[in-house]
Structure 1
C-alpha cells in the first residue's frame, strides 16, 4: 500500500443523515464524559463507604487504573469490530453495555464487587469512542473536519459539566449521593435505542466494506490480488503493521497518546481533591470547590472548540504542538506557582483545563486522517487505547506518590512533565492533513 490509501471519499453533500449521526455520537460521548468524571467526583466518597474512612489513596487510584485497562481492552476490540461490522452497530451496543453496568454498579455493597462491575462498564465506555469518531469524521466536510471533530470531542467536557452539576444537585442526598450519581448513568441506554432507529451507516465505510467482500470472494475463487487488494484482505491490525508508512505513523501517534493520557489521568484527576484541600476550612468550602471544578470543565470545552478552529486554520501539527507546550506550562502554573487568593487559584485551574483537556482534541482529529477507511477504526483505537495501559500505571503511581510525599503537588509536577514528549515528537509523526479528503 502506498502513502495514498486505497479508498476514495464521496462528496460531502451526499453523506446521509449527517446531523442525526453526529447527534448520536455526540450524545454517546457526552454520557461517556459523565461516567468518567462522575467516578472522579464520587471516588473518595464511595471508597470511604465501601472500604473505610481512612482508606489509602491507592484504592481510588485502583478504581481509575482498572477502568482505564477495561476501557483500553474494550476500545481495542471495538476498533477492529467497527471496521468489519460498521460504525453504527458497534456504537449502539457499546452505549448499551456501559449504561446498564453503570446502573448496576450503584447497587454494589463491597469495593471488589464495585470494581468488577466497573470493569464491564469500562469495556463499554472504551468501545464507544472509536465508532463514533470514525462515523463523524467520514460524514463531515473536509474543509471543516477539525471543527466538527472538536465539537464532537467537546461533548466529553460537557459530560464533565453534567457530572459536576449532578454532584452538586445531589449533595443533599448525603451518604447515598454516589449511588444516585451512578443511577443517572443508566440514562445512555435510551441513546442506544435512538442510534438503532435513527442513524444511518457511513457511506464511505459501506463502499469499503463492499470492496472488501468482493476481494474476499476473488480470493475464494483463486483470483490474483494486487497490493491494494492484499491490504484489504488482511486482518486490519496486520495491514497497519505491514505497511511501513502506517507503522511509522502509529508509533509516533502512540508517543503523543502516552503524553496526553498519562498527563491527564495521573494529574488532572487529582484537581478536585487539590482544590478541596486548598479551600478546606473556609466558608462554603464544598460550594467553592464545585464552582472551581465547573470552571475547569467549562475551560476544557472551550479548549476543545478552539483546538478545532485552530486545526482548520493553521493546521493540525502546529495546533497539537502548541497545546502540548501550554499544557506543560499549565501544570507547573497550577501546582508550582503560589496563589494568593481563591480567584487566582480559580484562574490557574481554568488555564489548566483549557489546555490539558483541550489538547486531547488531536486524538480524534489527526489520526482519522492518517489511516485509510478499511483500517481507520482499528488505527485510531490502537492510538487511543494502547497507551491507556501505561496511563493506568501512571494513575497508580500518582496515588503512590501522593501517599509517599503527603501531597498532590509533587506527584502532579513529576508526572505532568510527560507533556514534553508531545512537544518533542509532534512534527515527526506524519504529514499535515488540513483540508485533505479521507481515503
Structure 2
C-alpha cells in the first residue's frame, strides 16, 4: 500500500469515526427541545424524561440487532462495501428526522441513524486492522483515528450552540403550522448529511481489505457462524468482552448521555430560577381567577391588559431560561467530549507501552470513583466543579471504547472478525448496556429520595454509572490476554 493510499485510508477512517460520534451524540443535545415540541409539553415535564430514556434504549437496541446482522455481512460481503452502505444510512436519517412532526417519526429515524453507526464502527475497525499488518502501525492507526470520534462529539456541541444562536435568522423550514420553523434542533439534525457527501468522494480511492479479498477470491474464506463464538477456544473472550462492552455503554447511556437533557437543567442556577417562575405563574393564575369575579368593566379591562402583559413576560422569561439551559447543556457536552478525546489520545499513547488488562484498569479504577463523586456530590453542592467531573467521567468511559476497538479485531480469527466484534459491541454494548438509560430514568430515578426530577436522575446516574464500573473492574480479571500469534495477520 503506497503512502498516498495509506493517508487516504487514515483520512477516510478518521472522518468516518468523527461522524459516527457526531451523529450518535446529536440526540443528547437536541433531545429535550425536540421531545418538548413534538409532545407539546414543557421541558421539565415528566414525559420528556421518560422519552429521553426510552429513545436512547429503543434506538440502541435497534442498532444492536441490525448491527449484529451487519457484522455477518461484513464477513461475507466485505469490509469496505458494508462500511459505505452504513455511512449512507446514518447520513440521510438525521435529515429525515429534522422534518419530524410526530414522535414516531423522530423515533424511527433515530433508530436508523443508530443502525448505520453500529454497523460502520465494526466495519471500519476491522478494515483498518487488516490493512495495517504491522502490529505497531496497526495500533497507531486504530488508536489515533478513533481519537477523531471524540472530535466529532466536540463538534456537534459547537454546531448545536451555533444553531441555537442563529436559528432565528436561518431560512424557515417547510413545516406545517404549529411547529417551530426555526427550531435549533432541526438545523442541527440537517448537518447529518455532511459525512455522506464527504465520504462518497473519498471511498472510490481506497482499497478493500487485501487479506479478506485474497481469501474470498481463492475460495478459502470460511463462512462465519455465531455458534463458533461459543466454541471452547473463544467462549471466554466472547462472553467477557461482551459484558465489558455492556458496562462501558451502561456508564455512557445511564449517566453521560442523560447529562445534557435531564441533569444539567437541574443545576442550582436553573432550578432556583425555575422555582421563581413557577411561583410567578401561580400568582398570575390566582389573579386571573380573581379578575374573573370583577364586575366593573373598566377595572376588568385594565386588569386584563396588565395580566396579559405579565403572562407575556413570563413566557419570555421561560423561553430565555430554556435557551440558557440548552446552551449550558451543549457546554457540558463539549467538556464531556473533550474528556473523551483526552481518553482516546491517552489510550493511543499508552497502548504502545502498557499491555492487556492493565491498560483497561488504568481507566476503570478512576472511573469507579469519579461517577459517584460527580453525580452525587458535585452536581448539587459544587456546580462549578461538576464540569470537571464530567470531563473525567468522559475520559475514563471513552478510553474503554478505544481499548476494545484495538482489542477485538485481534481477539477473533479473520472469518469471525466482523461477527465477533459486532456481537461484543452490539449485543453487549448496544442491546444490553444501553438499557441503562431506561434503567436510570424509568426505574432507579423514581426511587431516589428527592422531589426534584433532575436531582433524581443525577442520583440514579451515580448509582448506575458507579455500579457499571464496579462490575467492569471485576470482569477485567477474566478478560483473556490475546497471544501474539493470534493477532491480526
Scaled by the length of structure 2, the TM-score of the pair is 0.78
- The yes-or-no answer on 1:112 pairing with 2:104 is yes
User: Counterpart of 2:184?
Assistant: 177
* Shift in CA distance, 24/237, structure 1 to aligned 2, threshold 3 Å: same
CA distance in 2, matches of 1:342, 1:234: 54
SS at match of 2:207: coil
* Shift in CA distance, 259/57, structure 1 to aligned 2, threshold 3 Å: same
CA distance in 1, matches of 2:432, 2:100: 28
CA distance in 2, matches of 1:239, 1:287: 49
Aligned residues: 408
CA distance in 2, matches of 1:274, 1:317: 33
User: Counterpart of 1:411?
Assistant: 460
- After superposition, the C-alpha distances for 1:240-269 in whole angstroms (9 at most, x for unaligned) are 33x311222101111111111111111111
CA distance in 2, matches of 1:29, 1:304: 12
| Correspondences of 1:142-161 after superposition (within 5 Å) | 142-161=135-154
CA distance in 1, matches of 2:92, 2:59: 16
CA distance in 1, matches of 2:325, 2:100: 29
> Rg larger in 1 or in 2?
2
| Correspondences of 1:323-402 after superposition (within 5 Å) | 323-338=363-378, 341-387=382-428, 388-400=430-442, 401-402=444-445
* Shift in CA distance, 433/261, structure 1 to aligned 2, threshold 3 Å: farther
CA distance in 1, matches of 2:488, 2:30: 41
Q: What is the deviation of 1:427? A: 3.2
- The yes-or-no answer on 1:77 pairing with 2:69 is yes
CA distance in 2, matches of 1:306, 1:433: 23
Q: What is the deviation of 1:182? A: 0.8
- After superposition, the C-alpha distances for 1:3-38 in whole angstroms (9 at most, x for unaligned) are xxxxxxxxxx77982221222122122112111111
Q: What is the deviation of 1:404? A: 4.5
User: Counterpart of 1:292?
Assistant: 332
- After superposition, the C-alpha distances for 1:108-164 in whole angstroms (9 at most, x for unaligned) are 100012212222222222111111011112223302433322222222211111110
Return 5+ residue gaps in structure 2 as ranges.
Answer: 169-179, 274-320
CA distance in 2, matches of 1:324, 1:32: 24
CA distance in 2, matches of 1:202, 1:250: 24
Is residue 340–residue 396 contact of structure 2 (8 Å, CA) maintained in 1?
Answer: yes
Larger deviation, residues 121-130 vs 91-100: 121-130
Deviating runs (4+, > 6 A) in structure 1? 13-16
| Correspondences of 1:76-95 after superposition (within 5 Å) | 76-95=68-87
Q: What is the deviation of 1:82? A: 1.1
- After superposition, the C-alpha distances for 1:268-306 in whole angstroms (9 at most, x for unaligned) are 112224233214258966545433331221111010110
User: Counterpart of 2:255?
Assistant: 267
CA distance in 2, matches of 1:389, 1:240: 18
User: Counterpart of 1:30?
Assistant: 18
| Correspondences of 1:54-69 after superposition (within 5 Å) | 54=45, 55-69=47-61
User: Counterpart of 1:6?
Assistant: none
Q: What is the deviation of 1:207? A: 2.6
- After superposition, the C-alpha distances for 1:195-236 in whole angstroms (9 at most, x for unaligned) are 44222112222233234x1x4xxxxxxxxxxxxxxxx54433
CA distance in 1, matches of 2:383, 2:470: 29
Scaled by the length of structure 1, the TM-score of the pair is 0.86
User: Counterpart of 2:9?
Assistant: 21
Is residue 95–residue 189 contact of structure 2 (8 Å, CA) maintained in 1?
Answer: yes
CA distance in 1, matches of 2:401, 2:192: 23
SS at match of 1:109: coil
